[in-house]
Structure 1
Amino acid sequence: MPHPHRIRATALTIAALLPVLLTGCARDPGLAHGGPLGQRLGWKDCPVPSVAQGDGGAPSPLPDGTRWQCATMKAPLNWDDPRSGTIDIALIRAKASGDPSRRIGSLVFNYGGPGESGVTALPSFGQDYAALRTRYDLVSFDPRGVGRSAGVKCLNDQQLDAFFQLDAMPRTAETQRVFLDSTKRFNQACRLHSGRVLPYLRTTDTARDLDLMRQLLGDRKLHYFGVSYGTELGGVYAHLFPRNVGRAVLDAVVDPTLTPEQAALAQAGGFQLAFGNYARDCVAKSAGCPVGSTPKDVENRLTGLLNDLDRKPLPGVSPRRLTRSAALDGVLEALYSKNSWPSLTEALRRAYAGDGRPLMLLGDSMNERDEKGRYSNDSAAEVAINCADDKPRYTTADVEAKLPRFRAASPLFGDFLAWNLISCAGWPMRGAVYHPDVHAPGAGPILLIGNTGDPATPYDGTRRMVNALGKGVGVELTYRGQGHGAYYSKNTCVRDTVNRYLLDGAVPATGTVCS
């Protein structure tokens, strides 16, 4: 079952060749003559997003009337053999609004997942970047395997409805067998429908796409803003192309030193911390907390609800019923942003009264299911990219052995995240490595932002990414707040610090704190 923003591992197979292949004067003849580097990006008005991208209407113009433009980039399917064929990479941009003589270049965004469509996400945040757009074209893309970029296909919508209602915390031999078999069927469906692209979805492949994109955008350096998994992609890019790194921001930083098991265990603790923060905030309200009288009471009542749902699911979004796993999806979704805490309170209040619909709608948001019952390809892409990156293949016996540590880290979420370790069971090819290499000697300063209350990418990972990048590269900024990421919290200190760095090159002192 897909899991929220799990930490990934990556591979490096031809790092020694890449600087020669893609930078400087020397170019591979197959790329330079009629290949990917011989192309021009044909920008035009954006079409309506596909269902795989998350659907919705065509992006609305920005407040100053600037229209979003879309283009398609050709990239090698297999970077180890660029002549073997290409795939399409979908791009979107809004051109810079300021004085052309002060334009820095393009600022490329990746919104994480992995599996998030940048073509759909960037317009939804467009107004937040008004200051940045004075000197940058805003650019994002669907990474390979996502949306319109050779999007991975696995199960259909009806099959996904059933899959997300499965018991993802099996406690008996029979429920374990059902969960394992269902996971394998999901993965076999990915192979059946998307087998051609599955071997080429590693984060290192997407990093190479980024450098090709940089060249086609006409930029000498890649200016980059990565969020969550996008920070891992940024770190891998810096490792492969350190001298091509421009001004780069990594927000909600992935810990690159952890194996998938260690990362899932850290997330268990992160979400438990976030739920405790939510519960304390709820009971501190002057009007009282409708889902508990104390923080412990809030947790105990949720535990009781989950146990009840295991025995008897509640009516949800008809005809589906709210199962224990579907309820946890909803809780996890709400913990990504403090702005969602009131929605979680109302959803829990309604669930305790017998109505599972609001909590299920939160879970649908997590799994990118729209009101018509259609899913984006986010969950398929997430599994495919994870399994291309991650070398470990965990068994049910492995999970059972690790459960005590996960339960100690999180009584609420430990089982759920531990059993997610088997998501690559039966995957048709091997994963790459245990964790990504982000060592980037020679790269310019990269600004990393860690949020002390981040559930999905716990704060300690920021310092470890700083250390892994190498001396003189990572610059750490701390935000004492809640939710996943910092820039989108709209904290003035964080926004001003990031904007000064990206617009003026003003590097803050490492260890700067915003609250």
Structure 2
Amino acid sequence: MRRVLAAALLVTAAGCSTAPAEPASRPTATTTGAGTRTAAGTISWGPCTDIKRPDSEPPARQDTSVRCAKLAVPLDYANPEGEKLELALIKLPAAGKGEKLGSMVFNFGGPGASGVDTLDQAAKALTTLRSRYDLISFDPRGVERSSGVRCGDTAQMDRFVSLDTLPPDEETHRRTEAANKEFAALCQQHSGKILPYVGTVNAARDMDRLRAALGEEKLNYVGMSYGTQLGAVYATEFPKNVGRMLLDAPLDPTVTFQQRTLAQTRGFQKTYESFLRSCVKGGCAIGKDVEDANANVTKLMNQLTVKPLAVGNRPLTQGLAGTGVAAALYSELTWPFLEQALADALKGRGAALMYLADSYVGRREDGTYTTQMTAFPAVTCVDTAERPTEAEVRRTEAAALKISPLFGSEGSGGLCRFWPAKGSNEAKQVDATGSAPILVVGGKNDPATPYQWAPRLTAQLKTATLLTYQGEGHGAYLSGSKCVQGLVDAYLINGKMPQQGAICPAA
């Protein structure tokens, strides 16, 4: 499903409004993880009862201090006393002996990724921050436990995510358009009530409610990928409430569907070429040199459009295989697995590529799906008034395919043109004037959020400092770079901002 692939786990965005939000200090009902309702205005933390552990981990929780809760917020901020929805929260209490610095709120990207699940799984990588902060995350509205957007059953989702994008002929276009129409209608059928309200501005208002409920005067925040968009909108809506804010792998909220699609196509193609060069240096299982390896991958993709590989009772289509390749390009650490997955597929074994694709689109082993691929378009499409015509979508695809036959696609515009909820440009312009200093970190070789977006967002915010990472992968803070981690931790823990223009070498 590469029509939205170049963005999943990052979404674009659209900006922010200067209209006043509903005051965050208004009392809100809360619920513990076990479901007990409590007094309004506070969060009552309890045991986490519904976090799904990775299959590779023991079923018993190793860290019994982890706590969950729920926070009620208005469905529609224009009617703050009306219907509520409940945000699912998670807390990893501070574990160090030093002075506690309060709470640090995380959004790991998407939109569609569960903050509850991701923080639980990322705990070991955040030990330094946890020594001084309570680490907090949440499922934003429209995601998983927070009235998650649903768009069909397993069979319907399987059909949508497995669509081929090649060859780019009229038959492929016809199937894609029909699938987009069906998917949008299913989203309306299953989640129509929430679709108009899942935009980033409302999510930012939710986050200020969370800040107040945590008892924090300022919001300390780490946003990654789409989380940078949420953070930028928050800083525009509530500049005086910004504490220490890190925006890692940033989005440029001003880009159009076409600009975003072409920039991300270039980014994935560049990273794919880096993967091929790295592969052939030490004897590559998919080809003797870059040209040979690329030719073999191209041949595989073309063959899959004619005859998918059987993986159990499922077909590995060209669309799923392309998704699997892109998924492995997010981190240099997964390149060896991608090499093996492609080598297996060239020999007729598609299980590893299917695994990569499933991990990307949020398909669980039991066939159910997370909200990654449903909340993503829901937020993307409501976050902009842009609704491209069919001719504009086709022009975008043609331009993207010239950049990369492997990653070129029509982008998110193809689905948003059929979206049932109205879009808004309320968030197109971000400006954090009046906020505390914000740290933006951009990676030179980030495939999903191209580096040029980092200086652009930095300039738009007006209160931000840019740190550049010269390595590979999507996101720098958790990339393994000691330079990046050291500078970021110095800022988040001690308030020491890196010098403007600071650069960290590849890890």
Identity %: 40
Which residue in 1 is equivalent to 2:164? 167
Q: In the alignment, does 2:101 pair up with 1:111? A: no
When residues 489 and 419 of structure 1 are mapped into structure 2, their CA distance, relative to the original with a 3 A threshold, is closer
Q: CA deviation at 1:314?
A: 1.7
Name the SS for the 2:470 alignment partner.
strand
- Tell me the CA shift for residue 133 of structure 1: 1.3
Matches within 5 A, 1:111-510: 111-169=108-166, 171-285=168-282, 288-315=283-310, 317-414=311-408, 416=409, 418-433=410-425, 436-470=428-462, 473-510=463-500
Q: For residues 286-322 of structure 1, give each alpha carbon's deviation from its aligned partner in whole angstroms, at most 9, with x where no partner exists.
A: xx1111222232222211211111122122x221111
Q: Which moved more, 1:366-375 or 1:294-303?
A: 294-303
- Displacement of 1:172 in angstroms is 3.2
In 1, Cα distance between equivalents of 2:469 and 2:15: 31
Distance 1:128 1:276 in 2: 29
> Retained in 2: the 8 A contact 1:395–1:425?
yes
**Which of these residues, 44, 54, 69, is aligned with residue 42 of structure 1?**
44
CA RMSD of aligned residues (A): 2.3
Instruction: Render the CA deviation track for 1:103-150: whole Å, top value 9, x for unaligned.
Output: 111000001111010000001111111111121100000000001101
For residue 80 of structure 1, report the CA deviation from its aligned partner: 1.6
CA spacing shift, 1:352–1:54, aligned 2, 3 Å: closer
Q: 1:61 to 1:50 in 2, by over 3 A?
A: closer
Contact 2:235 2:242 in 1 (8 A): yes
Shift in CA distance, 459/12, structure 1 to aligned 2, threshold 3 Å:
closer
2: CA distance, partners of 1:96 / 1:35: 22
| Cα deviation, residue 268, structure 1 | 0.1
1:80 equivalent in alignment to 2:74: no
CA 374–57 in structure 1, closer or farther in 2 if over 3 Å, else same? farther
> Given the two structures, how large is their TM-score scaled by the length of structure 2?
0.92
Gap change, CA 1:230 and 1:57, over 3 Å in 2 = farther
Aligned-residue offset at 1:179: 1.5
Give yes or no for contact 2:28–2:42 (8 Å, CA) kept in 1: no
Query: Residue 208 and residue 104 in structure 1: after superposition, are their counterparts in 2 closer, same or farther (change >3 A)?
Result: same
Contact 1:451 1:458 in 2 (8 A): yes
Distance 1:453 1:43, change over 3 A: same
Structure 1: how far apart are the matches of 2:502 and 2:441? 10
Match of 1:17 in 2: 20
- For 2:161 and 2:142, the matched residues in 1 are separated by 21
Unpaired runs of 5+ in structure 1?
Answer: none
Note if contact 1:477-1:511 (Cα within 8 Å) is conserved in structure 2.
yes
> 2:34 aligns to what?
none
SS of 2:250's partner is coil
Q: 1:33 to 1:369 in 2, by over 3 A?
A: closer
Contact 1:6 1:263 in 2 (8 A): no
Shift in alpha-carbon separation, 1:12–1:499, aligned structure 2, 3 A: closer
Which residue type is aligned with residue 359 of structure 1?
Answer: L
SS at match of 2:433: coil
The aligned amino acid for 2:159 is A
Q: Which amino acid counterpart does residue 494 of structure 2 have in structure 1?
A: D
Contact 1:54 1:376 in 2 (8 A): no
Counterpart residue type for residue 118 of structure 1:
G
Q: Given that residues 176 and 396 in structure 1 are in contact (C-alpha distance below 8 angstroms), is that contact kept between their aligned partners in structure 2? A: no
- Letter of the aligned partner of 1:477 in structure 2? L
Q: Residues 129-187 of structure 1: CA distance to partner in whole angstroms, max 9, x if unpaired?
A: 11111211000000000011011111111211122222234633333222111111111
Deviations 1:189-216 (A, max 9, x none): 1111111111000100000000010000
Deviation by residue 1:303-343 (Cα, 9 ceiling, x = unmatched): 1211111122122x221111111110100000011111011
Superposed CA deviations along residues 358-379 of structure 1, whole A, max 9, x for unmatched, are 1111111111112222211211
Q: Is the 8 A contact 2:9 2:113 kept in 1?
A: no
- The structure with the largest helix share of the pair is 1
1:64-79 correspondence to structure 2 within 5 Å: 67-79=65-77
What is the Cα deviation at residue 395 of structure 1? 3.5
Alpha-carbon separation, structure 2, partners of 1:461 and 1:392: 20
Q: 1:411, CA displacement in angstroms?
A: 3.0
Q: Which amino acid aligns with 1:237?
A: Y
**Please, which moves more after superposition, 131-140 or 421-430?**
421-430
1:436 is displaced (CA, Å) by 2.9
Question: Which segment is superposed worse, 500-509 or 177-186?
Answer: 177-186
Tell me, in whole angstroms, the C-alpha distance in 2 between the residues paired with 1:236 and 1:321: 41
Q: CA deviation at 1:283?
A: 0.8
SS at match of 1:83: coil
Structure 2 contact 11–110 (Cα < 8 Å) conserved: no
My pick for the range that moved more, 110-119 or 179-188, is: 179-188
- How far apart are the structure 2 equivalents of 1:122 and 1:11? 26
Which is worse superposed, 263-272 or 249-258? 249-258
SS at structure 1 position matched to 2:387: coil
- What residue number does 1:60 align with? 61
2:15–2:430 contact (8 Å) kept in structure 1: no
Deviation of 1:478 (Å): 1.1
